[in-house]
C-alpha cells in the first residue's frame, strides 16, 4: 500500500480499518454480554428454598490454608465512572482486608469487572497471599481468565496480565 497509495489515501484506509476494528470489538462485547444474560436466564430458579434466608447468597469458606478474595464492580455510564470492591477473608470467614476504588473514563462493564479482578489479585499479591481463591460474578471475565482463547478485544490486555499474575 505504501508504494501504490498517496499519504492521504493511506490515512483514509487506516481510518476505515480502525472503524471496522472498533465495530468488531463492539460486536464481540455484545456477544459476550448476550451469553452472560442467557446464562443468567437459564439458572434453575426452582431449586430455591421457600425460606427467605436461604434464598440469599451466602459466603462460602475457602479450603484450609487459602484466603478468598471476593471482587465486584459497578459502572455509571452517564458519569463514565466505575467503582470496585474487594474483600479478602481467611478460611474462618475473618476479614483480612478490604478495599474500594473508583476509576474515571470507563465505558464498558467488562472492562470494569476486569479491573476489579485485577485489583483483587494485586491486593493479594501485595499482602503476600500465595494461596487465593478469587470469586466474582462476571462470568465472561472469569471464563476469559480460565481459558486459553485470546479473543477479548476490549479487555484482552487486562486478561492476559491476570493470567500471567496467576502463574
Statement to judge: residues 38 and 75 lie in one domain:
no
Statement to judge: residues 106 and 149 lie in one domain:
yes
Number of structural domains found in the chain: 2
Note the pLDDT tens digit of each residue in 17-69: 988 888 887 777 677 777 766 766 665 444 444 444 444 566 778 888 899 99
- Predicted local distance difference test score (pLDDT) of residue 111: 85
Could you give the residue ranges of the DSSP H alpha helices within 3-155?
Answer: 7-41, 52-55, 109-126, 139-146
Q: Is 83 exposed, middle or buried (0-12, 13-18, 19+ CB in 10 A)?
A: middle
- Predicted local distance difference test score (pLDDT) of residue 54: 45
Assigned domain for 72 exists: yes
- Predicted local distance difference test score (pLDDT) of residue 27: 78
State the cell numbers at 65: 490454608
* Ramachandran area for residue 105 (φ above 0: left; ψ -120 to 50: alpha; else beta): left
Statement to judge: residues 77 and 144 lie in one domain:
yes
Note the pLDDT tens digit of each residue in 130-157: 888 888 887 778 777 777 766 666 667 7
Q: What is the mean pLDDT of the chain?
A: 79
Statement to judge: residues 107 and 161 lie in one domain:
yes
Q: Is 55 exposed, middle or buried (0-12, 13-18, 19+ CB in 10 A)?
A: exposed
Residue 103 to residue 112: CA distance in whole angstroms:
9
- Domain with 13 in it: 1-42
Assigned domain for 155 exists: yes
State the cell numbers at 110: 467488562
Note the pLDDT tens digit of each residue in 86-134: 999 988 888 898 988 898 988 888 888 888 988 998 898 899 998 888 8
Assigned domain for 142 exists: yes
- Looking at the DSSP bridge assignments, the partners of residue 69 are 88, 134
Statement to judge: residues 36 and 81 lie in one domain:
no
Compute the C-alpha angle 89/94/100, nearest 5°: 50
Assigned domain for 49 exists: no
Residue 132 to residue 144: CA distance in whole angstroms:
18
Statement to judge: residues 100 and 143 lie in one domain:
yes
- Predicted local distance difference test score (pLDDT) of residue 44: 46
CATH number at residue 96: 3.30.420.10
For 39, phi and psi rounded to 5 degrees?
-65, -40
Residue 58 to residue 45: CA distance in whole angstroms:
16
Assigned domain for 5 exists: yes
Statement to judge: residues 69 and 37 lie in one domain:
no
Amino acid at each position: 500500500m505504501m508504494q501504490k497509495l498517496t499519504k492521504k489515501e493511506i490515512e483514509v484506509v487506516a481510518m476505515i480499518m480502525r472503524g471496522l476494528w472498533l465495530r468488531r470489538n463492539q460486536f464481540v462485547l455484545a456477544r459476550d454480554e448476550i451469553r452472560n444474560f442467557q446464562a443468567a436466564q437459564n439458572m434453575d430458579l426452582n431449586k430455591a428454598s421457600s425460606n427467605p434466608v436461604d434464598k440469599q447468597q451466602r459466603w462460602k469458606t475457602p479450603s484450609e490454608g487459602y484466603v478468598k478474595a471476593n471482587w465486584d464492580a459497578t459502572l455509571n455510564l452517564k458519569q463514565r465512572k466505575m467503582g470496585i470492591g474487594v474483600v479478602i477473608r481467611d478460611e474462618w470467614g475473618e476479614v483480612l482486608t478490604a478495599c474500594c476504588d473508583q476509576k474515571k473514563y470507563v465505558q464498558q462493564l467488562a472492562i470494569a469487572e476486569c479491573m476489579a479482578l485485577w485489583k483483587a489479585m494485586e491486593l493479594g499479591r501485595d499482602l503476600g497471599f500465595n494461596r487465593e481463591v478469587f470469586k466474582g460474578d462476571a462470568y465472561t471475565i472469569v471464563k476469559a481468565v480460565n481459558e486459553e482463547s485470546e479473543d477479548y478485544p476490549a479487555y484482552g490486555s487486562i486478561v492476559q496480565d491476570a493470567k500471567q499474575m496467576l502463574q
